Amino acid sequence: MDIQKFQEKLAEICELGEKSGKILKPQQIKECFGEMDLDKSQLIKILQYLKLKGITIEGAEVALHTSGEEQETEPEEQEQKVPLTPEEEEYLKEYLEGLEEQKAGEGQTELYLKYLPAAAKMAAEMNCEEIFLADLIQEANISLLMAVGEGTEDEKDDNWFMGRIRAGIRHAIEEQTQRKFEDDYLVAKVEKLEAAVRELTEDEDDENSKFSVEELAIILDMDEEEIRDVLRLTGDDK
């Protein structure tokens, strides 16, 4: 299916970026995704995903054009922060107040409870559109819990813990972002096919204007199985 091919291409370009010292040329991206007929907005999302993975594009100072506006690619260290909504601000406040009421533990439990407020605040600092704040805090807590049971006592300082929490949050954002890209790509394919079918079959009552999957594959230059998958999603696989 085409979505599987998209996933493979996304993994391929990320692997290429890692091998190239986290720097890619624009031409490499075009060559990798060239045959997939992506529109401008989809290509921009791919570039944003690569940026999230810490992979920069050669000549990153060149602006990406989105809706007629210029958006400069920021350095890897500068993560794009989404401001908290009033509701999220209130949730964070109540969450932190709830942590203050928890009783102190011993050993690893004490260490875990100690860093819970910092984990929540870091999740708020890395707030994004892809994941709800509450879920992001949960991801931070999971990363903290894993960190408590790992490493040696000598290396477990504030910087080590915060680094592990940040890495866990970033990984969760990357996974969710990739899923969203895949969903958006599939939605675009569905919309493209639906628009093409409507254009080809303007007169729905005319049986002669209806096309089989095989005929659509030839006309639209698409794989038959891909068309069947899209039709299943739209409920038109009859």
Q: What's residue 79's pLDDT? A: 54
Q: From CA 137, how far away is CA 127, in angstroms rounded? A: 9
Kindly state the percentage of the chain with pLDDT values over 70.
66
Report the range of poorest mean pLDDT among 5-19, 70-84, 150-164, 221-235. Answer: 70-84
Q: What's residue 8's pLDDT? A: 80
More confident residue, 182 or 165: 165
**Which residues partner with 70 through β-bridges?**
65
Neighbouring CB atoms inside 10 A of 237's CB total 12
**Which residues partner with 65 through β-bridges?**
70
More confident residue, 93 or 1: 93
Q: Kindly tell me the sign of the dihedral angle through the C-alpha atoms of 93, 140, 180, 40.
A: positive
**C-alpha dihedral, 81 to 169 to 92 to 127, nearest 10°:** 20
Length of the chain in terms of residues written: 238
Task: Spell out the domains of the chain, with CATH numbers in brackets.
Answer: 2-78 (no CATH), 86-175 (1.10.1740.10)
**Which amino acid is located at 102 in the chain?**
Q
Most confident of the ranges 61-65, 70-74, 135-139, 179-183 = 135-139
pLDDT category at 41 given cuts 50, 70, 90 is: low
169-178: per-residue pLDDT in tens? 998 988 888 7
Q: What's residue 125's pLDDT? A: 93
Q: What is the pLDDT averaged over residues 53-66?
A: 57
